Amino acid sequence: MKYKRVLVKGIVQGVGFRAFIYRNALSLTSLKGYVRNLLDGSVEIVCRGDERDIEKIIDAAKKGPYGSRVDGVEITEIDLEEDYRDFSVRR
């Protein structure tokens, strides 16, 4: 199954970034996957859904919540065996 992996770099940890993405994802009914912090200080979003909903979550990631600073966003398409039922926050 094809997923998009969105890697967000900048000041994106400790500023409510995951919660911001999660709230946005909940309003996009087709979006499935997760958001999590990575050890290098970036945030990873892995998702699938309607192309329009994926673009909306990417736009939200580029903006970020108040207090964050997004320096870069890398988007790649990946193959995953797992089929997520919802969108979640991982630790």
The residues annotated as belonging to the active site are: 18, 37
Query: Helix, strand, or coil here: 63?
Result: helix
Backbone angles phi, psi at 5, to 5 degrees: -110, 120
For residues 39 and 50, give the distance between their C-alpha atoms in angstroms, rounded to a whole number.
29
